[in-house]
Structure 1
Amino acid sequence: MKKCLLAAVLLLIALVSTQAQDHEKNLRTIFDEALTNGQSYPMLEYLSLNIGHRLSGSPSAAAAVEYTRQQMEALGFDKVYLQEVMVPHWVRGQKEIGRIVNAKTFGSQDMNVIALGNSVGTGPSGLLAEVIELQSLEELEKLGKKNIEGKIVFFNRPMDAKHINTGHAYGGAGDQRVVGPSAAAKYGAVGVVVRSLTLALDDVPHTGTLIYEDGVTQIPAVAISTIGANYLSKTLKTNKGLQFYMETHCEMLPDVLSYNVIGELTGTTLPNEYIVVAGHLDSWDVGDGSHDDGAGCVQAIEAVRIFKATGIRPKRTIRAVMYMNEENGLRGGLEYARVAKEKGEKHLAALESDAGGFTPRGFGIKSTDAVLTKMQSWVPLLAPYELRKMVKGYGGADINPLEDQGTVLIGLMPDSQRYFDYHHTAEDTFDKVNKRELELGAASMAALIYLIDQEGF
């Protein structure tokens, strides 16, 4: 009996050892393919330079839908199709104007500003009002309506530089942009100026979405560059009653029909279980959206291409999804989750790349502790590729709607130090993306998908 038990234990050890060796070999194959025959960089080059920025509802967003569909078909994915989704159609209009007016020492001074996404416009007459500086939404209540009514509120809270992960710093300062305009409007403010969400000190304003609260007056809102914010703040200290002029021509048009773009590699033994690898296809209408999120889209396509090119056939169906409208509505992510639930599809995991095409460091996991512990056991297999982080995390905006269906949510974690230098700006362009970093990110995604597919949870 003891001999039989010993034999069984030895057999199990041998099987585990063989499996580990197979994983090591296949992971090496995945990275070799991405780094020697990778297609992510030329795909991003075309998306960025030939199509450009891709705000949802725009003709360029429609062109991006068709391009990514054709790419996945040309690469021989088993199934490629479009998923209809109605998206917002916000247009910026002509260039914004921001100006300090009636300063004692210099009179007027133009400032670099940019309208926030979904904002109403001032129209050609612009908006001129006294400006008041705040550091937080809580200060609105302290000041009260008598001190805010009729004024432009200037939210000037910077991102907290103490955070090593700059995404945490971004999250800590984002409320003033997203909900600040409606919060200020409740106290009678007529407009909002928000400090750009970046740790960089430059004269480049950062756009981004705002969300108007139902039943609250919609007031125009712009972001000002960090240099401009510091200058405005300094001027306010010595100029009581300082006025600010802002002029924007943006407007929200009726919703437009668009699409999520989906490509599949069918699983061999569990084809009705899905693993999603994703990015969002829309971008802001400044720059060309190379880091946010052209990089994530081409990495998702490339991850599936790598499986085909290496002959590694997954057990489960791998589904590359190009989500539409992450930036100013999240309609694509919500619609994908709704359809998946309606069809009763089982999504084991979803992995999104939406933090730029920089050097990958690991993954953020939104799951049970048991699943996280299992995934952390894979770190020794991934460490040779410098993927050492497997930590509790956010997942991603587009895939988060899948959470209530029991899906494990995962976000690729690239090095975060440069991302918010370019995020939502005219500086987010193809020349800022490093070919090898992009390819390493695609390989990292394919590698984790491989382990999830082979090991399960």
Structure 2
Amino acid sequence: MKKVLILLLLVAAQGFSQTDDEKQIKAIYNTSLTKGKAYDWLNHLSNQIGGRLSGSVQAQQAVDYTKSQLDSLGLDRVWLQPVKVPKWVRGTPEFAYIETKPGLTNNVPVCALGGSVATPLGGIKANVVEVKGIEDLATLGRENIEGKIVFYNRPMDATLISTFQSYSGCVDQRYSGANEAGKYGAVGVIVRSMNLRLDDLPHTGSMSYGDTADYNRIPAAAISTNGAELLSTTLKLNPQVKFYFKQNCKQFDDVESFNVIGEIKGTTYPNEIMVVGGHLDSWDLGDGSHDDGAGCVQSMDVLRLIKESGYKPKRTIRVVLFMNEENGLRGGNKYAEVAKNKNENHVFALESDAGGFTPRGFSFDCSDANFERVESWKKLFEPYLIHMFVKGGGGADIGPLKNESMVLAGLRPDSQRYFDHHHAENDTFEHVNKRELELGAATMASLVYLFDKYGIVPPVKIKG
């Protein structure tokens, strides 16, 4: 009889706790959907400041604005963390055309890849060799590449439902394509934009020359998917066509910028730190609304939603707006470096860097025990149509914090439209839906609440 009574008490306690969690999460969603601030903050970032390339005036304006907004929330502490970042400038608009015969040309949309060198003042015109990936270069050999422009034309795989998986399957040609083609004597590279649809918008993104000397670096540009299709078709009809492009980008010395940080101090375990964040910098073609203004304002609103709901966190919760994710990851590395030097105990980190679309769930980089705990919370999210809880990466900026005991998580919105806008001039405010953005903020705040309330499962220490 005594055992039955104890069992009934445990079941009742669990039911009470579950009800409390349902009420708390409902309050978070209600507040976000009726009194959310994320959309207004994003409106200012996007329409009053615009694209926030690292080292730019706009990036500094974004630092000043977000710090002032965090100051207004009544957090326990708000501060700026200095970090040196690269300063690359695009210059005047790029220009390109396909020349089928002398004087007979078709203009095509291109944009310089981030970090690329400029073309000579008069531009570059040369024959073109089309490849599907870096591995094709060795097959062709120097004799077929030297003096030509290499055209990387491997598209994103449309059969993959995860568009991020499709992106990762071909982004190496953008990042390393110029460095590898230069080894075979190419004079420049043109890369098909990382985009699943056919349109006239070239998509920029970071690229690297590795340890190649400055004088051996060749210019690299992205071409729109429609432009890539036209160039590929034209080459099949006439392999002797020439391609011309001109760009005026320049790399300057590193400049000082900042991570923007605010925190609510924990009431019970103040030395256990939970981070939620996104990256404040963006590319310069659009205004960076989805990548990653959305993640920044959602992260800011997580702290506000927790305060508004009346919940008193047990652990210290920080929002970190990282600088320079797009072309260097300096902000994420600096934050982790400072945390290590201060011997800070980070137990959880959540990043939003996949756009402001409808949230579908989370990916987790954690132990099996912590993932089992997360899956036990899944029913709390199902009323909000959050179903996807998977093992995977958390995010680029929180990655440097990783250790064997902490939990890294990434918000996973619906990704089907993300690469229509990613790194392109149509990554703008009008393409963000207010309700979807607010649902994402509430989803993030709910996960932070649960991990704060219940903590993480510590790693098992093996004696021996």
The answer to whether 1:138 aligns with 2:135 is yes
Indicate the residue corresponding to 1:75 in structure 2.
Answer: 73
Taking the aligned partners of 2:278 and 2:381, their CA distance within structure 1 comes to 22
Asked if 2 retains the 8 angstrom alpha-carbon contact of 1:103 and 1:235, the reply is no
Measure how far apart 1:369 and its partner are: 1.7
Asked if 2 retains the 8 angstrom alpha-carbon contact of 1:34 and 1:442, the reply is yes
The answer to whether 1:113 aligns with 2:77 is no
Give structure 1 stretches of 5+ with no counterpart: none
What is the count of residue pairs matched by the alignment? 454
Indicate the residue corresponding to 2:462 in structure 1.
Answer: none
Asked if 2 retains the 8 angstrom alpha-carbon contact of 1:341 and 1:405, the reply is no
**What is the letter of the counterpart of residue 90 of structure 1?**
W
Asked if 2 retains the 8 angstrom alpha-carbon contact of 1:122 and 1:247, the reply is yes
Measure how far apart 1:187 and its partner are: 1.1
Question: Normalised by the size of structure 1, how large is the TM-score?
Answer: 0.97
Measure how far apart 1:405 and its partner are: 6.2
Taking the aligned partners of 2:245 and 2:65, their CA distance within structure 1 comes to 38
Q: How does 1:228-247 map to 2 (within 5 A)?
A: 228-247=227-246
User: What SS does structure 1 have at the residue aligned with 2:169?
Assistant: helix
Indicate the residue corresponding to 2:14 in structure 1.
Answer: 16
Q: Deviations over 1:165-209 (max 9, x none)?
A: 111111111000011111111111111000000101101100000
Q: How does 1:147-166 map to 2 (within 5 A)?
A: 147-166=144-163
**What is the letter of the counterpart of residue 165 of structure 1?**
S
Q: Choose from 30, 33, 36 the match for 1:35.
A: 33
Indicate the residue corresponding to 1:413 in structure 2.
Answer: 412
Taking the aligned partners of 1:124 and 1:246, their CA distance within structure 2 comes to 11
The answer to whether 1:184 aligns with 2:210 is no
The answer to whether 1:205 aligns with 2:233 is no
The answer to whether 1:193 aligns with 2:195 is no
User: What SS does structure 2 have at the residue aligned with 1:161?
Assistant: coil
Taking the aligned partners of 2:101 and 2:39, their CA distance within structure 1 comes to 49
| Change in CA separation of 1:336 and 1:41 when aligned onto 2, cut-off 3 Å | same
Indicate the residue corresponding to 2:460 in structure 1.
Answer: none
Indicate the residue corresponding to 1:435 in structure 2.
Answer: 434
**What is the letter of the counterpart of residue 358 of structure 1?**
F
Asked if 2 retains the 8 angstrom alpha-carbon contact of 1:362 and 1:413, the reply is yes
| Change in CA separation of 1:252 and 1:170 when aligned onto 2, cut-off 3 Å | same
Q: Deviations over 1:96-140 (max 9, x none)?
A: 011112448x82111100000000111422111111100011101
Greater shift, 364-373 or 17-26, is seen at 364-373
Indicate the residue corresponding to 1:257 in structure 2.
Answer: 256
Greater shift, 361-370 or 295-304, is seen at 361-370
Taking the aligned partners of 1:110 and 1:260, their CA distance within structure 2 comes to 41
Q: How does 1:435-454 map to 2 (within 5 A)?
A: 435-454=434-453
Asked if 2 retains the 8 angstrom alpha-carbon contact of 1:101 and 1:242, the reply is yes
Indicate the residue corresponding to 1:6 in structure 2.
Answer: 4
Taking the aligned partners of 1:410 and 1:300, their CA distance within structure 2 comes to 13
Give the CA RMSD over aligned residues. Answer: 1.2
Indicate the residue corresponding to 1:333 in structure 2.
Answer: 332
The answer to whether 1:309 aligns with 2:288 is no
Taking the aligned partners of 1:428 and 1:232, their CA distance within structure 2 comes to 25
Taking the aligned partners of 1:259 and 1:394, their CA distance within structure 2 comes to 25
| Change in CA separation of 1:100 and 1:58 when aligned onto 2, cut-off 3 Å | same
Asked if 2 retains the 8 angstrom alpha-carbon contact of 1:93 and 1:249, the reply is yes
User: What SS does structure 2 have at the residue aligned with 1:296?
Assistant: helix
User: What SS does structure 1 have at the residue aligned with 2:402?
Assistant: helix
**What is the letter of the counterpart of residue 337 of structure 2?**
R
The answer to whether 1:170 aligns with 2:167 is yes
Q: Deviations over 1:414-441 (max 9, x none)?
A: 0101110011011011010100000000
Greater shift, 177-186 or 398-407, is seen at 398-407
Question: Normalised by the size of structure 2, how large is the TM-score?
Answer: 0.96
Measure how far apart 1:6 and its partner are: 3.3
Asked if 1 retains the 8 angstrom alpha-carbon contact of 2:179 and 2:212, the reply is no
Q: Deviations over 1:249-304 (max 9, x none)?
A: 00100001000000101111011111111010000011100000000000000011
Indicate the residue corresponding to 1:64 in structure 2.
Answer: 62
Taking the aligned partners of 1:121 and 1:112, their CA distance within structure 2 comes to 17
Counting aligned pairs with the same residue, the percent is 55
Give structure 2 stretches of 5+ with no counterpart: 457-464
Asked if 1 retains the 8 angstrom alpha-carbon contact of 2:85 and 2:257, the reply is yes
**What is the letter of the counterpart of residue 100 of structure 1?**
I
| Change in CA separation of 1:133 and 1:238 when aligned onto 2, cut-off 3 Å | same
**What is the letter of the counterpart of residue 7 of structure 2?**
V
Asked if 2 retains the 8 angstrom alpha-carbon contact of 1:292 and 1:356, the reply is yes
Measure how far apart 1:248 and its partner are: 0.6
User: What SS does structure 1 have at the residue aligned with 2:239?
Assistant: coil
User: What SS does structure 2 have at the residue aligned with 1:404?
Assistant: coil
Taking the aligned partners of 1:69 and 1:220, their CA distance within structure 2 comes to 37
